[in-house]
Structure 1
Amino acid sequence: MKRLILLFALIGLLASLSAPITPALAEPSATFTSLNPVVQPLASAPVAVRISGYDGPATLLIFDSRGRFAGAFGLTIANGDGWVEVTPRGGLGDHWAALFTADGRMVANGTIYRLEAETTLRTGVAGYDRLYPTVRQFMAADRLSYRLDGQLVAGYRSPDSPLLWLRDHYYQNRAFRYFETDLRSLPEAFARVQAPDGSLPDFLARPEWNIAAFRTPVEADVEYLFVQLIYETWQVTGDTAWMLRMLPAAQRAIDYTIRDPLRWEPALGLVKRPFTIDTWDYEYGPPMINPNTGELGPRHWIDDQTKWGIFHGDNTGLAAALNMLALMEEAAGQADLAAVRRTIAADLMVRLNALSWNGRFYTHHVKLIPYDVPGVNEAEQLSLSNAIALNRGVLTETQGRAIVAEYLRRLNDPNRIAFAEWYSIDPPFPAGAFGMNGRLGERPGEYVNGGVMPLVGGELARGAFRYGYEAYGFNIVQRYIDLIERTGATYLWYYPTGGIAPVNEFLPTDGWGASAMLGALVEGAAGIEDRHIAFNTVTISPRWPADPVYAIRDVYAVARYAAGDGYVAYRWQYTPATANQPGRIDLTATGSGDSFRLRLLVPAGATPQTVTLNGAPVPVQIEQIGVSRYAVIAAAGPVTTVSVTLSR
């Protein structure tokens, strides 16, 4: 009905515009045929048109799979034949078209083609354009699938463990959302083994190896990661019914975190944990006896020597999860409860900032009972969850820019030894501070005790793009591409001098770091950010003018969720100013969703003069972050074309 109403309105408009034209028309038989039965968004598609016995103008109107107007394309028929190049836009699936002659008569209608989309990036820079297929190839080696309790479960394993850890799987979804179709089975499997108190194991059982599901007692992040995974699975699939079925498990997980005395410090109103290195799973002190095997090893268990404190990453993660839970509860009709979640999240960040924020970054671990840690200046320790916090939506702009600036300062430190500033923690702890009984990570520069981690670099790059350090974001992505193209591998961590751990202990296809770097390219450089569910509300912030190495002028970008029909595509072009012509940015965008927030990065030294949206002038609105300026335009529907003229 919606399509028919719009069609009648367009017929009337077409007739009024075409009234002066007198076509030559007999009794026509008319057809239109797309030369490509399956087309890609914004990729020109030739259509052959025949109206027997007719000469004159004609118009082809196209509607997407949701019945939305997706374009009007004029052509001229000569001796009954013509052709036209159309631009596919709108939702995925079959598109419908209607063909009109100049007097407003519809002479043919029906399905014209099927629109499909696949995640794609074409910038003219080979490294950028190859990163998505390279990461997908790496992660094919990390996918693990087996039957558990009679049901198939699929996920992405840790590079240092042949098990499905919730943490490692969650962080890898920055990439696998674009190619993996089974997103539901792993969170469902974790929900089935959730304890009555709401707590969850770190990893799922592997029955064929006689490995049971297990929770490392010192960990405090599993529950909020479970909530984030449920939310982001809903975001990708758009499956609200599934989310509603999982919502009670998410609520129990959050309630466990903020109520259980093992995880919550009521005097501070913050999550607590034993003194681990950032979010990792072994604590400070000498090795301990594994109570299950009797072997001497890392301190995974809580005992009378456990030293407690507040770790910032648990709390920024919980705040982010509370905000995600609020969105799910609103969708479930629980608006009052959602408001409470948001209040808790905001209050938690106030308390965390008062306790842990030092003006440049979050202090690694604030002790509940003070004690000395010899051999390291703890006040200067920059730990990896500072980079992760950049993308959790809980920092102020001032905090975000300060954290990025601190990493940049350490990159430029003349005394830096490490090949990259993507530190797990810097400076590291002295040898033996975290007793591992000789395992990797006991000495400084190893594993999470000062090893260099691409997962940190990827989160940092995405944050740099977000907080006005766009050139730095490009620099990080370029260095990672150089690294993997030089070696053909990607590792969870590297020694500061660039060496790698033994291959039999760490896979050369680390999905965590690779996913973070791909997220930086897609969400940061290409600037495609899903603001809610299935790309229905999208922010597009192409940051190509800030690339410090490559003069990028023409980009085609598509982000498509493989487990649903959500996608967004754009074509961006930049024409620098000449002596006779002003500079210009042109953006054409489309997708499955209803609204876009377009943020066009203004090249350094240029000033926006005029902005048009679908040919009509709109006010120039500027958003500034740091020294970066963005021209901001709100747009709706699948047909969006913006032009910005620039002067210097």
Structure 2
Amino acid sequence: MQTASLRIEPADVMSFLPLQQAILHITGSGWENGTIILLDGAGHEYLREKARSDFPFTIGGALGRQTARLLDQQGAIAGELEFIVDCSTQLHDEGGVYQALMEAVLWTMMSWSQDNPVSTINHGGRVYQFFVNWVFDHTLIMKGMKYFWPDLKDAIDFFADTQRADGMIWENCHPATPDYNYFDWKFNYDNFVQKIGDGFWQLRRAPVESHVEQYYVEGLYCTWKATGDTVWMQSKLDSAMRAVRYITKSPYRWSEKYNIVHRGFTIDTWDYVSDDQQRISGSGFVVYLGKNEFGAFHGDNTNLILQCRNLAEMLKVAGRAEEAPEFEKLADDVEMRLNALAWNGNFYTHWIAENPDYKPDVGVDMSSQVSLSNAYALNRGISHEKCVSIIKTYQRIRREMPSSSPGEFYGIYPPFQKDFTMNSPGMVWEYVDGGVLTVVGGELAHGAFEHGFETYGADILRRLKAIADRYRGYMPCTLRGKAIEAPERTFQTLSIKNQANASHSNTAPEVPLWSTQQYLNLADLPTGKQEFQGVPFQVLDPAQSPYRSCMVLSRQSPYPPQLSLPAGAKAASIYLLNAASNINSRTGTASMLITLHYADGSSHSQDVEGRTWYCPTDSKYDKSGPRGEDTYRVAWKKSTPDEQECGVYATGVNNPHPEREIASLELSVGGARSKWLILAVTLSSAPVFFAPYDDLSSGIPDGWTGSVIYALIEGLAGVKDIGTAFGRTYLTPRWESADVPSAEVTVRYPASDGYCSYKYRAREHKLEVEFTGSAESFEVQILMRPHFRVQNARLNGHHIKTTQRKIEESSYLVLPSVPRGVHRLEVDLA
């Protein structure tokens, strides 16, 4: 019979947090010599103490419905109270630098794809959810999103459900129609494309890609770890084994010469081959056996090695240990062959051709190139010695790279100067060909933390945070690897005085106006010789007689639909100071035409997009580049009294024949209602160039930056799941490397109740760590301050024997394995 009443404070909360302080208030009688027991959400006891009327305690253990139980002196239940414990992934560091970084990357992962964190596919009566409907991208993004998102299984289920009979995993699935399309045409050989859902979804596999099955197994493994659902994992093992066996049996994936994974000649793990190979295959995505060149790329193989070992681990847990040696042996064999073939003593050589006579003209010594999968290799189980060499290689790149580079974490460095131009953007120092990839920065930082370069890892994260700050709390994945330099050029302004037929002001005697609206005019536009966006223009003054200051073209009276402007000069490009009205509301532009009439009698015509003068905008706030391709910019704009904006653009047009003299420019308006305003025209001796607003590049989903979360949580914060659902947890705080004296960290898998939470505080001669979680055991190692030694260590008030682990120049305090519960570690330093 319960004789006591229990009340908990704070009382005004829906749920409590791990490590939160609470107080039990006990009233009633018969309990005075009793005992308080606290049971976590899994029913495990994590505290037993003598009862007091006011009983303070620290909450911990498994999440869910916890119980505070009061036993009387005879062991009978005298009172009981239940309360909810819940949490989410949080990181709070003193100074807030790394908290801000995590928030920026989380926002990026949540918003990058049309402001949606997930996409869906409806197939076979089920709606599947993905971070991206590509198995490769989904798995990369899950590195960060698994700490914030509850639904992880769908993507793996989908790719398992649609797996080809021979074990091949489809790379992606996109909406389609039953009509024949480009991929039906290009991928139909050897069944690399398939329509499902009555033709309204299309499964695709770029024939050149040799990494898909590895990322499928990685996705399965990571999903199992986050969910803790071993029964679900068991149901996917046959599919995973078929996928790995497909790699070793398919001539598209397996090299008979090297007996490891091979692929066509691509940049690292990318899905398009070089220009010379595209001329053979007709597409960047396509390779033909017996026609295209194949070679060994290290990243496909290091990931196969890791995923074979992950698969063996899953087989053992699933009670199928007798099948694991097949994959352990494959991993060992591939590792031995890869190291013999591709390890050059400092890093893995990018791509090694099977044909010794294939020597493409790429403008760079390929043996010197460091490709991005070297950073990934740091986290794929290669030897510590190799990791140290790779990290030092990246530090060397940092010393050597262009001073304008945002970081040493390149797609490939040095980049290809030739032979990779046919896929957009096709420019050196952009995208994967010399672009700087923040996803690689995350992998590099994680590897640095794990291999004794913790200060370097923290520095990378700080620099990544600075990148996010530049982009208003958003983390772009791809940045230009070297600043674009303005070309040497000369300009020649052309006079439009004799062709001017209107005024851009708000009043002009007997002269047509560009706009008759009181506020929406351009009367404030500076006149005379002006420079806009780096280009000089000669702007006529509408206040001077004859008050005609601009050319207006339209198919509506009183304007002509076209005008001709004499040039009499050579030019590589033409710049127009211009704007348009009555544009196409769907495209945001109006179709215009410029025809270059050359002195030799030839001509060239090309379209020009006229852009609205009302609320003008350009690429300044776009989230993708490359900026070097901008062909127009807002040149000038003003606010109007009625709180609108109007303005004009500088638009560049390249001349395909700069060697020919341009006799005249013919300008024509397109749409029936469109109006085109031209205020000035300037010729340039160089192709169109506008100084970039920033260093954004293009081509990679920004959600890939989930690797930065992974580096923050496992690397700097040091919370690593070595079981499933944090059933066993490595706790290795490395805040010392970042000069952070205190931090509070909670890491949670929303797909399960697995979590770990700790509070860290370092003072000059004392270190304190309070920690708890859902783990059955904790393996605790703490990065120590250089030149300090442990004088005394206490766990929960009791002396504990510790050891020291050295890795490179770093020293870690190591505790014996700590069982489940709430724990407080105090370390005195000398």
Report TM bin, short chain.
0.7 to 0.9
Q: How does 1:84-163 map to 2 (within 5 A)?
A: 84-100=55-71, 103=73, 108-141=78-111, 142=113, 143-157=118-132
* Partner residue, 1:390: 378
Q: Is the 8 A contact 2:40 2:60 kept in 1?
A: yes
* Partner residue, 2:744: 556
Give the C-alpha shift of residue 380 in structure 1. 1.2
For the structure 1 residues 274 and 53, does the alpha-carbon distance in structure 2 shift closer, same or farther, using more than 3 Å as the test? closer
Give the C-alpha shift of residue 508 in structure 1. 9.8
Distance 1:290 1:114 in 2: 64
* Partner residue, 1:580: none
What are the Cα deviations for residues 382-436 of structure 1, in whole angstroms up to 9, with x where unaligned?
00000011112x21111111111111121122755422111000011113x1241
**1:43 pairs with 2:20:** yes
For the structure 1 residues 207 and 46, does the alpha-carbon distance in structure 2 shift closer, same or farther, using more than 3 Å as the test? farther
Q: Which amino acid aligns with 1:593?
A: A
Q: Secondary structure at the match of 1:556?
A: strand
Q: Secondary structure at the match of 2:202?
A: coil
Distance 1:401 1:613 in 2: 34
For the structure 1 residues 300 and 494, does the alpha-carbon distance in structure 2 shift closer, same or farther, using more than 3 Å as the test? farther
For the structure 1 residues 414 and 307, does the alpha-carbon distance in structure 2 shift closer, same or farther, using more than 3 Å as the test? closer
**1:596 pairs with 2:770:** no
Percent identical among aligned pairs is: 31
What are the Cα deviations for residues 562-593 of structure 1, in whole angstroms up to 9, with x where unaligned?
111111111112121xxxxxx12222221112
Distance 2:372 2:701 in 1: 20
* Partner residue, 2:406: 419
**1:586 pairs with 2:768:** yes
**1:276 pairs with 2:266:** yes
For the structure 1 residues 456 and 62, does the alpha-carbon distance in structure 2 shift closer, same or farther, using more than 3 Å as the test? same
For the structure 1 residues 645 and 533, does the alpha-carbon distance in structure 2 shift closer, same or farther, using more than 3 Å as the test? same
Q: Secondary structure at the match of 2:150?
A: coil
Distance 1:646 1:134 in 2: 36
Q: Secondary structure at the match of 1:558?
A: strand
Q: Which amino acid aligns with 1:283?
A: V
Q: Which amino acid aligns with 1:512?
A: W
Distance 2:386 2:279 in 1: 41
Give the C-alpha shift of residue 211 in structure 1. 5.4
**1:239 pairs with 2:431:** no
Q: Which amino acid aligns with 1:400?
A: C
Quick check: 172-181 or 302-311, which moved more?
Answer: 302-311
* Partner residue, 1:11: none
* Partner residue, 2:818: 635
Distance 2:162 2:81 in 1: 48
For the structure 1 residues 498 and 88, does the alpha-carbon distance in structure 2 shift closer, same or farther, using more than 3 Å as the test? farther
* Partner residue, 1:16: none
Distance 1:498 1:176 in 2: 32
Q: Secondary structure at the match of 1:535?
A: coil
For the structure 1 residues 211 and 444, does the alpha-carbon distance in structure 2 shift closer, same or farther, using more than 3 Å as the test? farther
What are the Cα deviations for residues 220-271 of structure 1, in whole angstroms up to 9, with x where unaligned?
0000110111111111111111111111111100111122222112443311
Q: Secondary structure at the match of 2:203?
A: coil
For the structure 1 residues 110 and 399, does the alpha-carbon distance in structure 2 shift closer, same or farther, using more than 3 Å as the test? same
* Partner residue, 2:136: 167
Q: Which amino acid aligns with 2:23?
A: P
Q: Is the 8 A contact 2:166 2:246 kept in 1?
A: yes
Distance 2:85 2:414 in 1: 52
* Partner residue, 1:469: 453
Q: Secondary structure at the match of 2:436?
A: coil
- What TM-score comes out, normalization by structure 2 length? 0.68
Distance 2:734 2:268 in 1: 31
* Partner residue, 2:721: 530
Distance 2:435 2:289 in 1: 28
Alignment counterpart, residue 170 of structure 2, candidates 201, 207, 210: 201
Any gaps of 5 or more consecutive residues in structure 1? 1-26, 78-82, 158-163, 577-582
* Partner residue, 1:298: 284
* Partner residue, 1:543: 734
Q: Which amino acid aligns with 2:220?
A: I
Q: Is the 8 A contact 1:190 1:204 kept in 2?
A: no
Q: Secondary structure at the match of 1:125?
A: coil
Alignment counterpart, residue 208 of structure 2, candidates 218, 229, 242: 218
Distance 1:290 1:204 in 2: 26
Distance 2:442 2:754 in 1: 24
Q: Is the 8 A contact 1:73 1:84 kept in 2?
A: no
Alignment counterpart, residue 7 of structure 2, candidates 32, 46, 50: 32
* Partner residue, 1:22: none
For the structure 1 residues 257 and 507, does the alpha-carbon distance in structure 2 shift closer, same or farther, using more than 3 Å as the test? closer
Give the C-alpha shift of residue 460 in structure 1. 0.4
**1:510 pairs with 2:702:** yes
Higher strand share: 2
Q: Secondary structure at the match of 1:204?
A: strand
Give the C-alpha shift of residue 201 in structure 1. 1.6
Q: Is the 8 A contact 2:757 2:773 kept in 1?
A: yes
Higher helix share: 1
For the structure 1 residues 584 and 339, does the alpha-carbon distance in structure 2 shift closer, same or farther, using more than 3 Å as the test? farther
Give the C-alpha shift of residue 53 in structure 1. 8.3
Distance 1:607 1:300 in 2: 59
Distance 1:356 1:509 in 2: 29
Alignment counterpart, residue 300 of structure 2, candidates 294, 299, 314: 314
What are the Cα deviations for residues 63-94 of structure 1, in whole angstroms up to 9, with x where unaligned?
112221212455643xxxxx333211111111
Alignment counterpart, residue 45 of structure 2, candidates 69, 77, 82: 69
* Partner residue, 1:184: 153
Q: Is the 8 A contact 2:280 2:292 kept in 1?
A: no
* Partner residue, 1:495: 480
The number of residue pairs the alignment matches comes to 590
For the structure 1 residues 234 and 469, does the alpha-carbon distance in structure 2 shift closer, same or farther, using more than 3 Å as the test? same
* Partner residue, 1:12: none
Give the C-alpha shift of residue 95 in structure 1. 1.0
Quick check: 66-75 or 517-526, which moved more?
Answer: 66-75
Distance 1:556 1:607 in 2: 24
Distance 2:699 2:287 in 1: 26
Q: Which amino acid aligns with 2:354?
A: L
Q: Secondary structure at the match of 2:172?
A: coil
* Partner residue, 1:9: none
Distance 1:47 1:59 in 2: 12
Alignment counterpart, residue 428 of structure 1, candidates 397, 403, 415: 415
Distance 1:617 1:207 in 2: 66
Q: Is the 8 A contact 2:274 2:284 kept in 1?
A: no
Q: Secondary structure at the match of 1:270?
A: coil
What are the Cα deviations for residues 254-296 of structure 1, in whole angstroms up to 9, with x where unaligned?
11112222211244331111111100011123374798xxxx6
Q: Is the 8 A contact 1:623 1:631 kept in 2?
A: yes
Q: Is the 8 A contact 1:490 1:509 kept in 2?
A: no
